[in-house]
Amino acid sequence: MIGVIVRRLLLAIPLMLIISLIVFVLGTLAPGSVAESMLGSSATPEAVAELNRQLGVDRPVLVQYAAWLQGAVTGDLGMSISGGRPVVEILASRMAVTLSLAVGALLVALLLGISIGVLAAVRGGLIGRAVEVLSVLVRGLPNFWLAMIAVLFFGVTLMWVPVSGYVSFGESPIEWAHALVLPVAVLGLSEAALIAIVTRAEMLSAMRSDYVRSVRANGYPWKRIVFKHIGKNAGGPVMTMTSLVFVGLLGGTILIEQIFAMPGLGAQMVASTQTHDLPVIQGLAVFYTAMVVVVFLLTDVVHGILNPKVVAK
């Protein structure tokens, strides 16, 4: 198992490098230089060139990237252009919001998705059909729109939960939970459908398998077959889907943070996009990718534990 983790980590490094390089190269393609936007249109070409030299953006792209990388490894992602704060500081102050949201939603998606999927696979009939309809609906409906309808209903009409905002866990765990309920539920629900579909499909295909027929013929009780034998085999693909769901879910956090006015990484991303604050955007992109890498690693490990054949490959 340790071998698996090491191997996945080794694969994660090139992934991080490639993503950061793409973002970095894209950044240098931006029309106009950083210095121009910092100094304004009245700046003399000499002043712009001077600032460019100071910022180091007159060097070749790869040299710049190497310098950025060197900083990144030591925890320095540069400075925000608009706010003048270190990017790392901005990330640190906002990541708790996004992590609470993303991890909470992932847990909701997993719990709900797997329960519904198992139920549909075992009982079928109406529930099976409901899962199919739900999966199409959730894929087709814009989740930011659903979120707004949820706000309207639970926040404005029923007033069960706050309409927007975020309270940190350290400040008040109860209010923290209260503020998170609706955004986590909306985000989790829309991703639960995908997990439910995969859970159901994988369990159904396992039910047709030879080993299930064999243990049935040898008198194993159905609960043991469904939850132990089929469950462990279906678990692997469900984990793979979970990692993909997490990727989609991160995109979802950007929208949800916007709707619920939560001071997370996504809100920062949108703000920095509007102000063309490239260092912050680069830092954010790398951080999002790092989160994906961690989740891929975790799901891979779980997959490996569930299905040793995958490890053998």
Partner 1 sequence: MSAVVESVPSRSDAGGTVDRNVSFVRRMLKQPVTAVCSVALVIIVFSTVLAPVIAPFGPLEQDLLNAHSGPSAQNLLGTDQLGRDIFSRLLYGGQVTLLGVFQSVVVCTVIGMVLGVAAGALGGWVEVATMRICDILLAVPGLVILLVVLAIFGQNESAAMITFGIIMSPTLIRVVYSATVAVREELYVAGARVAGLTSRQIMTRHLLPAIAGPALTQISIVAAVSCLAGAAIGFLGLGVAPPNPTWGNMVNDAQMAIVLNPWMLVPTGGIIAVVALSLTLMGNGIRDAYAGRSSGSTSAFNWRALLARVTQKETIEPRETETSTEIHRASAVLEVDSLSVALPKGGDEVKIVDGVSFSVAPGESLGIVGESGCGKSMTISGVLRVPPLGAHISAASIAFNGTELTSLSEEGMNAYRGTGIGFISQEPISSLNPAYTVGHQLTEAVQLHRKVGRAHARRIALELMTRVRLPEPEVVANKYPHELSGGMAQRIAIARALAGEPKLLIADEPTTALDVSVQAEILDLLSDLREQSGMALILVTHDWGVVAEACDRAVVMYAGEVVENADVRTLVRKPKHPYAQALLRSSSVGTAPRELLPVIPGAVPPPGSWPNGCRFADRCEFVEERCTSAPIRLVHTADDTSARCVRVTPILQGVK
The secondary structure element, H or E, covering residue 204 is helix 173-207
Min separation Cβ 173 and partner 1, Å: 29
Binding partner 1 by CB under 8 A: which of 77, 101, 151, 185?
Answer: 151
Residue 10 found at the interface with partner 1 (CB under 8 A): no
Min separation Cβ 181 and partner 1, Å: 19
Size of the site for partner 1 (CB under 8 A): 85
Which amino acid does the sequence have at 63?
V
How many residues are given for the chain?
A: 313
Residues 252-291 that bind partner 1 (CB under 8 A): 252, 254-255, 258-259, 269-270, 272-274, 276-278, 281, 284-285, 288-289
Residues 103-122 that bind partner 1 (CB under 8 A): 120-122
143-150 helix and 231-259 helix, angle to the nearest 10 degrees: 70
Rounded CA-CA distance 176/100 in Å is 9
Q: Tokens at residue 234, please?
A: 């279906």
Residues 159-198 that bind partner 1 (CB under 8 A): none
**Stretch in the footprint of partner 1 (CB under 8 A) among 67-75, 108-116, 137-145, 173-181:** 137-145
Between the CA atoms of 42, 45, 47 and 52, what dihedral angle is there, to the nearest 10 degrees?
120
Residue 312 found at the interface with partner 1 (CB under 8 A): yes
| 192 CB burial (10 A radius; 0-12, 13-18, 19+) | buried
Residue 224 found at the interface with partner 1 (CB under 8 A): yes
Rounded CA-CA distance 41/25 in Å is 25
Min separation Cβ 291 and partner 1, Å: 9
**Stretch in the footprint of partner 1 (CB under 8 A) among 57-65, 67-75, 142-150, 174-182:** 142-150
